[in-house]
Amino acid sequence: MKTIPAFTCQMCGHCCKGTGGIVVSPEEQDRLCRFLNMDRVSFLAHYAEKKSSKYIIRSDETGYCIFFKKDTGCTVHPAKPDVCRAWPFFRGNLVDRISWEMAQDYCPGICKDVTHEEFVRQGMAYLKSHCLIHQQTGDANALKVSDIEKNLCQKMEPRTHNL
């Protein structure tokens, strides 16, 4: 039986609107610098601002991430930060069914025709295959799923390779 994707981005841009939400680690800065062919100093000056001890991606005058362009979507897609790559498979949506249901109202890419269990199964497989399971202190909380990974993976063991 064909697997229904738990998530297919509709490019609506909802998740790219807002300020202060996208922290860029030094590794992510390097990735974006390589993609944009810029040095770190220029990148930070043009595209980031400092918030406490961290750097966040700037928003433009319309309130969207500076890398978002209408009709194009994310202009740094291949190098975008890990939180952008991981959405909607954030910790909250994986461990809490209510959060997942609320996320469906926010993100039209989350399929309402799959169960939460299937969302979790596909999400964990995606995060693992894209090296998005973070464990380090200081990483985004949304990506810290390593403590729940064992339990979730035991549950999904029979279908791990179907995605």
Which value, in Å, is the radius of gyration of the alpha carbons in the chain? 17
Query: String of b and e for 65-98 (b: at least 16 CB within 10 Å)?
Result: bbbbeeeeebebeebbbbbbbbbbbbbebbeeee
Between 65 and 120, CB nearer to ligand SF4 = 65
- CB 59 → ligand SF4: shortest distance, Å? 9
- Quick one: which of 23, 56, 65, 143 contacts ligand SF4 (CB under 6 A)? 65
**Rounded-to-integer distance, Cα 24 and Cα 44, Å:** 10
- Quick one: which of 43, 55, 67, 119 contacts ligand SF4 (CB under 6 A)? 67
Do 6 and 114 contact (CB within 8 A), yes or no?
A: yes
- Quick one: which of 14, 34, 40, 159 contacts ligand SF4 (CB under 6 A)? 14
Q: Which stretch binds ligand SF4 (CB under 6 A): 8-16, 91-99, 116-124, 143-151?
A: 8-16
Site for ligand SF4, rule CB under 6 A: 9-16, 22, 57, 65, 67-68, 74, 76, 80-81, 84, 87, 107-109
